[in-house]
Amino acid sequence: MNKFKFYFLVVFAVLSFSCSNNDSSGVTVEPPRDYKVQYDADIALIEEYLKTNYITVVSNPGKFDDQDVTITKIPTGGTQPSIYSYLNAATFPKLLIKEVKLHNIVYNLYYLVLREGKKDVVTGYGGVSPCNVDGVLTSYRGTYLSKSAATATAPSELTATFFEESKFPQTTFSLYSVITGWSEAFPKFKSGTSVINNDGTVSYFDFGSGVMFLPSGLAYYNSGSGAIPSYSPLVFSIKLYNVQRLDQDNDGVFSYQEDLNKDGYVYDYRNTIAYPTTPTTNIDDTDKDGIPDFLDVDDDGDNYTTRLEITKPAGTISGLSLYFPYDPIADDPLTTAIETETKGIPSYDKINKTFDYTTPGRTRIHIDSAYPIKL
């Protein structure tokens, strides 16, 4: 699925509209709708859908249909529990709400957790939540919601129309490059584990699975995409098989490690379409230059690049890498590579003139502007 950045699409639409004003053809392009007005319409549609449909979930561990979910309208007089009935449930399935501040409004993003995902206690693999700019290996199925107008002979009807499905994951999607709803919802799930079978196929176990319900402002809004009409609320069922840590600014520190408050989300508030009113501060911007650390090649603004600051001094014996990792790394016995790194990016004690390579919570030198002396 070609998921361009949402704000790029909106910019393109605005530019197209601007150009059309000077077009002698007389063609008029409708300007984008007011975000708040459209959100109110979208969330009403989503909540009606949640209250009038129920789910059926497949449990078939290790098979590709495991955690497949079918959403069906509750028949007249039916006793099936609605999706909405799982709101804030104590056990799974559990319907939750994430507030997303965008376009000067607060969106309610409903997401249904069928299974959170968990770590294998023997291998230690799995159980990893992505940051909102990490890569995800996922399968998904998408539908869009629409409602017909009432007529003299028929009432209005809410329908969910299928537009795309990927059953067998082959590509890792960067959450930095997809629609906002994906990048906001995926961090609420965790990866599972996998086994390569004798025939070369892969079986996945204990992965996170669920359904997200996205207002159009967190999807494609006025642009639409392929078979998706403009201003369509979207419903995605998803399975999170694996997480790939990414480094957007290529500074040697993974982007999730530049999430300073560890909430799983980093944002670039320079995007004035998404954030018309720029927040006064960005917790994930160390030097407060307006560029968040995950996009800043000099995180602490001391005129030494982050990659230079984490470069090991000549003669350092702590592992095979040229750079200090964020934290020490123990070797993985299941791989042939030697991953051992005994020292992480250090902090510096100016009084005792010593380095600390291991203490959790230390202020590492790449975000310490008071440490200009390089190793």
Q: Is 151 contained in some domain?
A: yes
The stretch 330-340 carries a mean pLDDT of: 89
Interatomic CA distance for residues 120 and 370, integer angstroms? 42
**15 plus 123 within the same structural domain:** yes
Q: Is residue 175 part of a domain?
A: yes
- Asked if residue 169 belongs to a domain, the reply is yes
Confidence of residue 333 (pLDDT cuts 50, 70, 90): confident
pTM reported for the whole predicted model:
0.89
At 195 the three-state DSSP class reads strand
State phi, psi for 240 to the nearest 5 degrees. Answer: -100, 100
pLDDT tens digits, 179-211: 999 999 999 999 999 999 999 899 999 999 999
Do 50 and 175 have their domain in common?
yes
pLDDT of residue 12 exceeding 70: no
The values of phi and psi at residue 62, to 5°, are 85, -5
Q: What is the pLDDT of residues 128-149, one digit of tens each?
A: 999 999 999 999 999 999 998 8
Alpha-carbon torsion (136, 140, 42, 97), positive or negative: negative
Is the bond leading into 325 cis (omega within 30 degrees of zero)? no
The structure tokens listed for 29 are 């392009």
Q: Is the pLDDT of residue 335 over 90?
A: no
Q: What does the pLDDT average to over 7-20? A: 44
Query: Encoding tokens for residue 15?
Result: 């530019």
Q: Considering the domain boundaries, does residue 259 fall inside one?
A: no
Whether residues 238 and 292 share a domain: the answer is no
CATH number, domain with residue 10: 3.10.50.40
Average pLDDT of the segment spanning 297-325? 96
Kindly indicate the confidence band of residue 10, based on its pLDDT and cuts at 50, 70 and 90.
very low
> Residue 34: which domain range?
6-246
Greater pLDDT, 142 or 23: 142
Specify if 109 maps to a domain.
yes
**Is pLDDT of 233 > 80?**
yes
Predicted local confidence at residue 30, as pLDDT: 80
Residue 105: beta bridge partners?
A: 102
Q: Tell me the pLDDT tens digit for each residue of 94-125.
A: 999 999 999 999 999 999 999 999 999 888 89
